[in-house]
Structure 1
């Protein structure tokens, strides 16, 4: 009878220790899950912010302003447009430019 009581006592103590360990592990995993959810929310907010910044950077007015200021570009108009015409005897790009603008290459039509 004494032996049976010791075995039962040992079983109760071991199951109590196991229960404490499982509860500790459960709390640890829950807090880790909470941290992961918070990080996922933060990443989602950052993604939304970056999407808004991307749309703001790609506006046509901003791109036009950068083209004017940094690249010194200007709108095309007929006064500054050079038209290139196809000539059957042209052998390369220089001949095509010369055919389109005879003064620049020293030729006159």
Structure 2
């Protein structure tokens, strides 16, 4: 009988240790999941902010302003436009080399 009690006590102890280990692992994984969820929410907020900023940067007015300021471009007007007609253009030589 003592041997059976000892085996049962040992089984209860092993079971209790396994239960404690399982609960600890479960809590650890839950904390990791919460941290990951918080990080995911933070990344989503940052992504939304960047999308809004991207849309603000791509407005036609901003693109035109950058073209004027940085690239020194100007609006095409008839006064600065040069038209080339087909009659004025010299025919290209047969070999593809330019005329000199």
Distance in 2 (alpha carbons) for counterparts of 1:84 and 1:54: 39
CA RMSD in angstroms comes to: 1.7
Distance in 2 (alpha carbons) for counterparts of 1:89 and 1:70: 36
- What are structure 2's unaligned runs of at least 5 residues? none
Deviation at residue 17 of structure 1 after TM alignment? 0.2
Partner of 2:85: 85
Paired residue total: 93
Q: Which deviates further from its counterpart, 27-36 or 80-89? A: 80-89
Q: Of the two structures, which has the highest relative contact order with CA contacts closer than 8 Å and spacing of 6 or more?
A: 1
Aligned pairs for 1:1-109 within 5 A: 1-87=1-87, 89-91=90-92
Deviation at residue 89 of structure 1 after TM alignment? 4.9
CA deviation vs aligned residue, 1:2-55 (integer Å, no higher than 9, x gap): 000000000000000000000000000000100110011011001101100100
- What are structure 1's unaligned runs of at least 5 residues? 96-109
